Amino acid sequence: MRARIFGAEKSTGPAAEEAGGILTIDLNALAANYRDLKKRAAPAACAAVVKADGYGLGLGPVAQALAGAGCTTFFVALIEEALRLRAALPTAAIYVLDGLNPGTAALFRTLRVEPVLGSWPEIDEWDGLAADSDEPLPAAVHIDTGMRRHGISNEDAIAFAERLKLLHFKPSLVMSHLACADDPSHPMNAQQIVEFRALRSFFPGIPASLANSAGLLAHPDARFDLVRPGISLYGGRALIKGDNPMRPVVRLQLRIVQVRNVNKGESVGYSAEQHLARDSRIAVLAAGYADGIFRAAGASDNKKGAEAVVAGKRCPIVGRVSMDLITIDVTNVPEAEVKRGDLATLIGDGISVDDFAARAGTIGYEVLTNLGRRFARVYVGG
């Protein structure tokens, strides 16, 4: 990947004129979102979740911008991500959410990275390394209070607490994860908060963490000592209802490769799933599902698809999204304002990442983490 610096902008990937689209990532907005969330969380500390390559936006630039905004604690999913993050941030505290892969304990120690231990085999392996190295080797412990994913049971958590004095490593954090925080009215939220509060009492003096983005925003009693926002940092919607208070971070513009006339009644795209209700002008955009523009965002005679903005006007996708091309209806855009080489905005100009996700039948998380590497990526600010 080439990198070019233009004033406050850094561009990676193909040159803009060579790419099918331009993905602009506003690191200033990212930093502002972190500062907003940190203020809301106080007096709890505020970490940042940067797994999945910084939610698809680039682990290095994202982490450095967050560190510049004052973040000192980060969560990734895999040791491979921790390796890259440590290279970018030599002094940050880094936790690996997916735990300890067998045989990787020594690498964690070398990187000064802490696994989130969620099973007895992980606990035993980490404790064995601590015993052999005669070091405290801090690590987090995940307790399953309802997700039924990674984590030890409530009973095992109490048994673990009773063994603390016998362990060779020192837990630096006890944590759990809310299953339904995006729906503040769901009764499971209160159940998990009460349960976790009771369990953390078995770990006096050890910081506790429960809240993700939605937990931070909607459940003040879930904040405990450390919050772990993810999607809200990147401008996505954390709660299923109400306004999204976060600043948008991404803007996606796709190159128009052709504008053509199509007659009323003719079909557009694979399988002839959509027929035009009028004589139309169609713009062909140079991106598709190979770039993370989901096939489900397309349209048919019975289904509306996503939209793009051209010259300030909303233009619906017509027909299926194919691997490398999308077609949109630009009939309502004056001919002089849309031509080959122009850009159509798929995310931005009033279309949020969650708006696009909804038209594709998915969520903003999935959209962000699938945005393709064939786009020219422009980092602004930071």
* Marked catalytic residue, from 51, 95, 289, 365: 51
Q: Among the options 170, 241, 270, 303, which is catalytic? A: 270
Q: Give me the CATH code for the 250-380 domain, please.
A: 2.40.37.10
CB atoms within 10 A of CB 336: 7
**Residue intervals in the chain for CATH 3.20.20.10:** 43-234
Query: Is 313 in the active site?
Result: no
Contact 280, 327 (CB under 8 A): no
Given a contact cutoff of 8 angstroms between Cβ atoms, the answer to whether 177 and 143 are in contact is no
In tens digits, what is the pLDDT along the chain, a chain of 382 residues?
Answer: 444 443 456 777 889 899 999 999 999 999 999 999 999 999 999 999 999 999 999 999 999 999 999 999 999 999 999 999 999 999 999 999 999 999 999 999 999 999 999 999 999 999 999 999 988 899 999 999 999 999 999 999 999 999 999 999 999 999 999 999 999 999 999 999 999 999 999 999 999 999 999 999 999 999 999 999 999 999 999 999 999 999 999 999 999 999 999 999 999 999 999 999 999 999 999 999 999 999 999 999 999 999 999 999 999 999 999 999 999 999 999 999 999 999 999 999 999 999 999 999 999 999 999 999 999 999 999 8
Element spanning 139, H or E: strand 139-142
What is the three-state SS of 5-23?
A: EECCEEEECCCHHHCCEEE
- Among 114, 84, 109, 80, smallest CA distance to 96 is for 114
Task: Name the segment(s) of the chain with CATH classification 2.40.37.10.
Answer: 250-380
Helices (H) and strands (E) in the chain, counts: 11, 21
Give, in words, the CATH class of 43-234: alpha beta
Decide if 51 is catalytic: yes
